[in-house]
Amino acid sequence: MRIRLKANDLMQKEGSHYIWDLYRQLLNRLPQKEELIHSQIQLSQGISKIAQIQAILTSPQAAYLYQT
């Protein structure tokens, strides 16, 4: 449930505000410069926010953070 609320909040954001909050809310950290640039390029190429959120949530870092 908590992740769903975070995802709904993220969907309301745009541009770099969205990317900063994506990392902060889902991974409890700020994006590194390369991650910020990569995410901005993905958005400009039409990758959906849902796809980015899913990629973050299925990453090894998220698996470690959300294990229990």
Backbone φ and ψ of 57, nearest 5°: -70, -20
What pTM, to 2 d.p., does this model score?
A: 0.83
User: Using one digit for the tens of pLDDT, what is the confidence trace for 20-61?
Assistant: 999 999 999 999 999 999 999 999 999 999 999 999 999 999
Interatomic CA distance for residues 49 and 45, integer angstroms: 12
